[in-house]
Amino acid sequence: ATTTITANATTRRPAEITKASYAPLAVLALAQIGTSSDSAAMNLATASLVGTLGATLDDIQMATTLFSLIAGAFMIAGGLVGVTIGLLLPQVSSDAAQIKVANRHRVTLAPLSPNIFAFTWGGRVIMGLGACLITPSVLGLVAALYQGRQRAIAFGTIAGAAALSTLSPLALGIVMDSSGFRLTFAIMAIHEQ
């Protein structure tokens, strides 16, 4: 038996793919890199947090675990919120603003924490909540904004951004060694603004 595959008119490549149509993808890729780099920053900050905030190993483990627990536990809810906001707001720039708002509190909580308690229960909880909104929103927006070949390129770009974030420990380590955890987490916050 032979199978004949025919092209469907709705899946044909658009006549023109403009470079401007990929502008939102740059914002989404940067959000993906920032969210993926959070764990690297935390892992590099251990010595700094012990020395500066008087953290114990148990405190560090709690801060690390709390971020993952919060982000993972609320990921589905965050995705639903992101999709709902995406459906209600017709402009992509508004959705990009949602991503920025989710991370705005990082500037004040993590880098300026006076002690490990504030860092963990303020900064890391907010970071986890931000991650649970960003990650599914990035993927949902790619699916909503792009079709066909553009969607494949967009998902490839997001996957590439996640892979690129594996190099973040190098850059973050240099900043951490020269200036400590406060500047490192401030850079992470500014990156996602």
Q: Output phi, psi for 74, to 5 deg.
A: -105, 10
- Asked if residue 124 lies in contact with residue 65, where contact means CB atoms within 8 angstroms, the answer is no
Residue 23's pLDDT band, with cuts at 50, 70 and 90, is: confident
Higher pLDDT, 161 or 109: 161
CB of 36 closer than 8 Å to CB of 165: yes
pLDDT digits (tens, 9 = 90+) for 122-163: 888 877 877 777 777 788 788 888 888 888 999 999 999 888
pLDDT category, 46, cuts 50, 70, 90?
confident
* Separation of alpha carbons 185 and 9, rounded Å: 49
Residue 107 CB burial class (10 angstroms; 0-12, 13-18, ≥19): middle
Lowest mean pLDDT among 2-6, 30-34, 77-81, 146-150: 2-6
Q: Comparing C-alpha atoms, which of 123, 132, 138, 189 is closest to residue 31?
A: 138
Condensed to tens digits (0 to 9), the pLDDT of residues 64-108 reads 888 888 888 888 777 777 656 545 543 443 344 444 444 444 445
Instruction: Kindly report the average pLDDT of the chain as a whole number.
Output: 74
Percent pLDDT > 90 in the chain is 6
Q: Give the pLDDT band of residue 56 (cuts 50, 70, 90).
A: very high
Asked if 119 and 185 touch (Cβ cutoff 8 Å), the reply is no
